[in-house]
Amino acid sequence: MRVIGPILGLAAVASAAQTVFKAPQYDDGLFTPLEDLNALSTSEFTTLGHPVFPNYNVRIKKSSFCDPTVKSYTGYIDIEARHIFFYFFESRSKPDEDDVIFWTNGGPGCSSSMGLFMELGPCRVLDANGTKYHPESWNTNANIFFVDQPVGVGFSYADYGETVSTTEDGAKDIAAFMFVFFEHFSQFKGRALHMTGESYGGRYVPVFASAVYDQNAQLAAAGYTPINLKSVMIGNGITDFYRQMASVYDMQCTHASIDPPSSIGDCVMMKRMASIPRCLQRLKESCVDIFDAVDCAAASSFCSTYVRGPYRKAQLNPYDISKPCSDELLQESLCYPETAHIRNFLTLPSTRSTLGVDPAVPANFSSCSTFVLQDFLAHLDSLSAPTQEYVAGLLERDVRVLIYAGNLDWTCNWRGNMAWTEALEWTGAEAFRGEELRAWSVSATGENKTEPAGLVRSANGLTFLTIYGAGHMVPFDKPKESLDMLQRWLSGEGFY
């Protein structure tokens, strides 16, 4: 192991077989950074530290896999006895100029390897034959991180069973990691950062981005370069649980997406016979107006049973209302057989050796951690804090926000996301609500031809956008449209 910087929280002494670099020289709180990713090894980790965060270190190495056309890296964020795994891919275009993207999947408890190997990464694992080049990857014009967070997810692990049970606690780790990375690799310092995610990322991303922004003020006061946080992007996210709850009725009982899949009897029961009215009343009284942990948990349980429960009768994919999915397939692979191929690929000893996965990680890879999920649920993470207020706070500070949603998703659907963005209170709200939903298009085969891609509303830094024919995982279902969306967002081109 090659060591750069103080190694507090790791082993105090390197073994005789390890090569220890000279520690950086500190001068008035500054230090000599590693600067260039090319200095990293393919066979061993280099450990990075910083005096501002003495309990945080970053282990990183080159990991040649997935896409031979770009440089890739893997490693761990070490927070004393907790260790968070990450992947980093340079841009296919201009890595020394292009923006940086942070990506997290949701759950809570699901690995961002799903985003990497199934959705938007430079390669995909969609069958038993391993990785295949993905031409519509989001690293086409951006450098991108995929992070297995919190601890206990994917290849992340803890030495003594330590856990993180709330998004706010996890945000501290992500913000510190971003700072240490940018400080060491000056080629990225000052580069625009976009924090992105999907599903429970609708909770994660606003809180993580807010932690980065708030940390910037303290770092700037100490003489350090702030992280250039430009935007957040959330795909089919859960952000405002109260306003998004009733939208599942729209998806299964109206023509909001396709023909109503639920029975008339179930829809009447949901809307008129107390299910939705009672659910919303209890959520408002116990979770929104005044947070009472016991009553809020009971309200959430009632809503899950009587508002969200009837959908399973149709045996449809909760992430794509147009496709069937049995209860067995939902439990085995989240309704997507591709997840089993990814799981098998990441279980291979050869894959783990290439990536540098720590031996402490269990031998069989798990796409999602039930333990992490249950821990977050037990702490009422999504119910105890108004996540949409983080979004409002970011908008007030000129951090742009894109909320996008595939129109076929049921679980975190476009109607619910549209509802909360319309209800959001911030100084640009009136202008945003005053904008009509308009069509946006992508290029089609043939000269000067376009085809409709979805609907969009945008004003004062907030954009709400739908993607036709996509479910919960937009980049998987519509890779061309999702890349076009990303490129317009990064460039500031807009969608009108």
Residues with Cβ within 8 Å of residue 197, at least 6 apart in sequence: 103, 104, 105, 106, 204, 205, 233, 234, 235, 237
List the structure tokens of 248: 């599942």
Return the amino acid letter for 213.
Y
| CA atoms 384, 415, 368, 392: torsion sign | negative
- CA gap 236, 198 in Å, rounded: 6
Return the H-helix or E-strand segment holding 95.
none
Q: Point out which residues pair with 454 in neighbouring strands.
A: 440
Do 202 and 387 touch, CB atoms closer than 8 A? Answer: yes
Structure tokens at 237: 């996210």
46-49 and 2-4: which strand pairing? parallel
Can you tell me whether residue 39 is helix, strand or coil? helix
From the candidates 199, 262, 286, 382, give the one annotated as an active-site residue.
199
Based on the residue annotation, tell me whether 184 is a catalytic residue of this protein.
no
Backbone dihedral angles phi then psi of residue 267, each to the nearest 5 degrees: -65, -40
Residue in 257, 472, 477, 482 annotated catalytic: 472
CB 174 within 8 A of CB 131: no
- Computed from CA positions of residues 324, 330, 334, 339, in that sequence, does the dihedral angle turn out positive or negative? negative
199 part of the active site: yes
DSSP per residue over 200-251, as a string? Answer: THHHHHHHHHHHHHHHHHHHHHTTPPPPEEEEEEEES----HHHHHTHHHHH
* Residues near 102 by beta carbon (within 8 Å), at least 6 away in sequence: 144, 145, 147, 174, 178, 193, 194, 195, 196, 208
| Rounded Cα distance, 27 and 25, in Å | 7
Q: How far apart are CA 488 and CA 463, in angstroms?
A: 12
Place of tokens 């896409």: 67
At residue 434's C-alpha, the angle toward residues 253 and 194, to 5°, is 85
The reply to whether 259 belongs to the active site is no
Residues 67, 266, 409, 477: which is the catalytic one? 409
Q: How many CB atoms within 10 Å of residue 161?
A: 10
Contact 396, 427 (CB under 8 A): yes
Active site residues: 199, 409, 472
